[in-house]
A = this chain, B = another copy of it.
Amino acid sequence: MAANQTQVQRWDIFELRLNGPETGNPFLEVSLKALFQFKNRTIECSGFYDGDGVYRIRFMPDTPGTWRYRIESSAGELAGREGEFQCVEASGSNHGPVGIRNRYHFAYADGTAFHPIGTTCYAWVHQGEELEKNTLATLRTAPFNKIRMCVFPKHYAFNENEPPRHIFEVVSSAGSDSSGKLDTTRFNPDYFRHLEKRIGQLRDLGIEADIVLFHAYDRWGYADMGAEADDRYLRYTVARLAAFRNVWWSLANEYDLMKSKSMSDWDRFFRIVREEDPHGHLRSIHNCRGFYDHGKPWITHQSIQYNSSDMRKVAEWREQYQKPLLIDECGYEGNIHLGWGNLPARELVCRCWEILTRGGYPTCHGETYVHPQDILWWSKGGALHGESPERLEFLRQILDEAPSDELEPVDFGHDVGCVGKPVSSGKPGEYYLLYFGIRQPAFRRLDLPEDHRFIIDVIDTWEMNVQRACGSFSGKCQIELPGKPYVALRIVRQTDT
């Protein structure tokens, strides 16, 4: 065993590097795991072969103190080794992994609220150094704290390029076909090291990586590898990535378009991911048309595609499945010929506000403007050209300024979305965020709790300004509005003076 770490931050990666057999096919033939122990609690954690005779086991400790470990392996030279390390408290921007809080919401492990505002760059890690660096530079100043991204490369309109690395070893084909044939029994560690570097960079930017494990848009064979290879791929990928605190598992993008997989395949994939992930990262699956049953117990949150300008369904599905609801796709800002990729920025931003004020989270940003080199953000990353990101930054600020980080739907009339902290347990309402969407009322009548006074901010979500209404409001009252679309109201209880 090489010299290993003796100290690691809580929720950082403790990694064991081991030298072991490199003959035969170690990916198939060598089993490896470690049992990590904190006091009387033991966590089993699979290792993986990283090529060139090197094996690794990665673990994300969740508790400060002394952790001990013992290795088990089919390879005698690896088995039985033991050691320990110190886990120290997290610092800086390390808040731990994101989990569910209070049924419909998210928080980091340290208790910090997490309000998902997400984007999608499916194949950005398959674009080569220059473009990937550009993507990271863009993300650095973008408002997003979550990104949907695929393990496999993408074959689709605007995505004809060959990936620099494949997930498996490529067996050269007889002819000049550069794609060759994938050997699904041999992973390409170089690909995964690259992927891990990118996930780490996202983590350092404060961005959760929603890792899409399967998708249908394929010309290499990834979409139809057979059950044995699928399962092996899942185990290997989870073993490599699960110690990254910013990883979420998205079993598929548009699972229902993968004709080679049945519902029982998807259920089995979830079982495997649950078994293999010692850290219990978030798990979801994304539909094209037909929903997967989000009520199944292994689903942690709803990941929904719904391309509609009418988001009232959000409230319905939230209630239906009693889990956090993310609209991960609702059409992208852009101007391409395909129906999911040509929304005006106004419409995308409006949908995001509707989603938020109907009780969901808007993780559906994406950009698909025609580009001379086919570099569309939604798949390849690069630069952002649209008008929605700064408005989503504004939305995120409004959300971050809310006095409560767990807003619940409030009924302020069926025509408006509203979330807030309403009257509960005899205490007066504290905060409401109403959104009028496309509507352009010149005024609104409100029915606020009578025993307190409220201040009201009129928010133009498109122009990104906040205007405080004169005076304070209480009980049945009326507020003047600018009579144009995309207006929200922030109603905050005045603190007693």
Contact = CB atoms under 8 A, between A and B. Distances in A.
Interface in A296-348: 307-310, 312, 335-340, 342-344, 347
Contacts of A337: 441-445, 478
Interface string A468-496: 00000000001000011100000000000
A309 B338 CA distance: 20
A440 B343 contact: yes
Interface in A440-469: 440-445
Contacts of A258: none
Nearest to A354: B309
Interface in A335-377: 335-340, 342-344, 347, 370
A474 B338 CA distance: 20
A272 B336 CA distance: 55
A342 B310 contact: no
A343 B309 contact: no
A439 interface: yes
Contact of A485 (B307, B338, B344, B441): B344
A204 interface: no
Nearest to A344: B440
DSSP class of A's interface residues: helix, strand, loop or mixed?
loop
A414 interface: yes
A3 to B, nearest CB: 57
Interface in A381-416: 413-416
B309 A342 contact: no
Given A347-B438, A442-B370, A416 B339 contact: yes
Which of A310, A416, A439, A442 lies at the interface centre, i.e. has the most chain B CB atoms within 10 A of its CB? A439
A363 to B, nearest CB: 20
Contacts of A309: 309-310, 438
Contacts of A483: 335
B308 A342 contact: no
A416 to B, nearest CB: 7
A335 B415 contact: no
A310 B312 CA distance: 11
Given A308-B310, A310-B308, A310-B310, A442 B344 contact: no
Given A335-B483, A337-B444, A337-B445, A439 B310 contact: no
Contacts of A444: 337
A413 B342 CA distance: 14
A183 to B, nearest CB: 37
Given A309-B309, A309-B310, A310-B308, A335 B413 contact: no
A483 B312 CA distance: 28
A445 B340 CA distance: 14
Interface of A: 307-310, 312, 335-340, 342-344, 347, 370, 413-416, 436, 438-445, 478, 483-485
30 contacts: A308-B310, A308-B312, A309-B309, A309-B310, A309-B438, A335-B440, A335-B441, A335-B442, A335-B483, A336-B441, A336-B442, A337-B441, A337-B442, A339-B414, A339-B415, A339-B416, A340-B415, A342-B436, A342-B439, A342-B440, A342-B441, A343-B439, A343-B440, A344-B438, A344-B440, A344-B484, A347-B438, A347-B485, A370-B442, A370-B443
Closest 9 CB pairs between A and B? A339-B415, A309-B309, A310-B310, A335-B442, A342-B441, A308-B310, A342-B439, A335-B483, A337-B444
